[in-house]
């Protein structure tokens, strides 16, 4: 099917070539062949470039991604470059046409590396295929010239890959793009290489040897480019993964430090004498007692230590009844069925809950058992509610660790969102 495509191009442009060659200065057979090869290359590259530009335009209108629009502009520049090159042919400057044309194509094609990521291997293959074919067809007697262009292309690709001066669009983020770029690379390579092999079959001995030597000389450069691109992509991927791991570890450590610190605070506060004295009194004697006043005053003092993030301090008896609470509307409630109360009694030590949703909002609950000093009998539980804002602030402080606009996402072991600053409406929703 590919051969029929090439034959169709050759037949369609045969008359065009003969008519145009009559308008050029007297040429040698080599020069006539160069002009013919140039026109055949135009007949192949212009339709493919136009189709690519149309595809990028359609995809840009759907996605609105500016990098895709930039890719369309590059393809239009490649297509448009053939017009001024034709004037060089009309002036009989065939070797200059070949050098400038091949260089221009190589430079423009390398610009796609500025635009897309995860496309390096396809761009390297496609770029070297274009350089080899254009060089072999247009400047066959200046092999070192197009080999130098190949090295320039490899240098540009490597420089862009390592420096990455502009934000690039990952082609894997778009299914059409991840299919189109490899497909067009294969199509361009096959169609244009077909012209080389056609010349290899029908050309004279000198032409055959020249093409064989040219391709053999370019293969190492192509191999080096592919290997360098693969290693570079692997190194960048590993660096990105390491950066993400470091940022995630730093954020997780900050959250763990917050929880550990407040567990210790809860345990220490549960050992304060006013709380122990109050809960040690018989239930009938607690109301309006001096011990109750002292315990309530201490609760408010502790709550005022962090008014931004502490929602409430409370004392519960061993039955789960809320005896005192800095949010007075909670007094008289029973929290015996709450996990944070049950775990504090069952474990006999401080405990932090999963995210809790109640009238005060979303937050964490820290609890610790309160024991008598003499016999260490558990007489109640200290409960502290922290607003989720405390965790969100920690997450905000760890923004941009792996680049601008990077934001941590805090999940629990069931992949439930605990903190999602980009989509707070999805709080406590499972991640898709």
Query: Which residues lie closer than 8 Å to 384 by C-beta, 6 or more apart?
Result: 262, 265, 266, 269, 310, 312, 313, 314, 365, 366, 367
Residue 219 in tokens = 């293969």
Phi-psi category of 338—alpha, beta or left, where left has phi over 0 and alpha has psi -120 to 50?
beta
* Cβ-based neighbours of 379, under 8 Å, separated by 6 or more: 276, 279, 280, 317, 318, 370, 371, 372
Q: Cα separation of 25 and 16, whole Å?
A: 17
* Banded pLDDT at 374 (limits 50, 70, 90): confident
Share of the chain above pLDDT 90, in %: 22
pLDDT at 243: 80
How high is the pLDDT of residue 30? Answer: 59
pLDDT tens column, 133-184: 777 767 766 667 767 888 888 888 888 877 777 788 888 778 888 888 888 7
* Residue pair 71/63 in contact by the 8 Å Cβ criterion: no
Classified as helix, coil or strand, 27 is coil
Structure tokens at 179: 């299919």
Statement: residue 3 has pLDDT above 90: no
Residue-wise pLDDT tens digits, 88-132: 777 777 777 778 878 888 888 888 888 888 888 888 888 887 777
Alpha helices by DSSP H, 1-142: 2-12, 14-21, 29-63, 66-80, 82-90, 94-110, 112-115, 120-138
Q: How far apart are CA 145 and CA 363, in angstroms?
A: 69
pTM over 0.85: no
Q: Which domains does the chain have, with CATH numbers?
A: 2-246 (no CATH), 271-387 (3.30.450.20)
Say what the pLDDT of residue 228 is: 59
Q: What is the pLDDT of residues 394-422, one digit of tens each?
A: 888 877 776 666 677 777 667 777 777 67
Contacts of 291 (CB under 8 A, 6+ apart): 274, 277, 278, 281
- Alpha carbon distance 107, 384 (integer Å): 64
How far, in Å, are 259, 317, 326, 331, 345 from residue 360 at the CA level?
20, 21, 12, 14, 24
Rounded to 5 degrees, φ, ψ at 278 are -60, -50
Helix-strand-coil percent breakdown of the chain, rounded to 5?
A: 65, 10, 20
| Residue 197 pLDDT | 64
Give residue-wise pLDDT tens across range 260-273: 999 999 999 999 99
């Amino acid at each position: 099917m590919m051969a029929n495509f090439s034959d169709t191009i050759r037949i369609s442009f045969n008359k065009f070539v003969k008519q145009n060659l009559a308008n050029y200065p007297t040429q040698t057979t080599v020069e006539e062949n160069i002009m013919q090869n140039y026109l055949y290359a135009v007949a192949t590259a212009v339709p493919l470039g136009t189709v690519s530009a149309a595809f990028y335009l359609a995809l840009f209108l759907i996605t609105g991604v500016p990098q895709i629009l930039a890719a369309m502009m590059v393809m239009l520049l490649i297509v448009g470059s053939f017009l001024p090159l034709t004037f060089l042919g009309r002036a009989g400057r065939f070797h200059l046409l070949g050098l400038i044309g091949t260089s221009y194509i190589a430079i423009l094609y390398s610009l796609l590396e500025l635009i897309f990521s995860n496309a390096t291997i396809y761009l390297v293959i496609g770029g070297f295929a274009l350089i080899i074919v254009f060089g072999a067809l247009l400047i066959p007697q200046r092999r070192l010239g197009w080999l130098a262009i190949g090295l320039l292309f490899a240098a540009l690709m490597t420089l862009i890959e390592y420096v990455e001066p502009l934000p690039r669009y990952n082609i894997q983020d778009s299914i059409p793009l991840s299919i189109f770029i490899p497909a067009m690379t294969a199509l361009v390579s096959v169609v244009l290489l077909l012209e080389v092999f056609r010349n290899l079959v029908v050309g004279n001995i000198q032409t055959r040897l020249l093409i064989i030597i040219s391709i053999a000389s370019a293969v190492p450069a192509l191999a080096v480019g592919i290997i360098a691109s693969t290693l570079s992509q692997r190194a960048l991927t590993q660096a990105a993964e390491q950066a993400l791991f470091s940022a995630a570890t730093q954020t997780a450590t900050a959250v763990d430090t917050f929880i550990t610190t407040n567990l210790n605070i809860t345990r220490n506060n549960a050992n304060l004498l006013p709380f122990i004295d109050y809960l040690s009194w018989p239930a009938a004697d607690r109301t309006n007692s001096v011990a109750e006043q002292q315990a309530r005053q201490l609760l408010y003092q502790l709550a005022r230590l962090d008014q931004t993030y502490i929602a409430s301090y409370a004392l519960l008896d061993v039955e789960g009844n809320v005896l005192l609470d800095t949010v007075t509307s909670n007094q008289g409630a029973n929290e015996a069925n709450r996990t944070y109360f049950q775990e504090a009694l069952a474990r006999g030590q401080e405990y932090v809950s999963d995210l809790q949703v109640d009238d005060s909002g979303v937050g964490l609950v820290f609890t610790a058992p309160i024991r008598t000093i003499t016999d260490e009998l558990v007489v109640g539980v200290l409960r502290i509610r922290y607003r989720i804002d405390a965790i969100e602030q920690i997450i905000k402080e760890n923004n941009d660790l792996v680049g601008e606009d990077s934001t941590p996402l805090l999940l629990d072991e069931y992949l439930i969102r605990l903190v999602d600053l980009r989509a707070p409406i999805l709080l406590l929703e499972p991640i898709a």
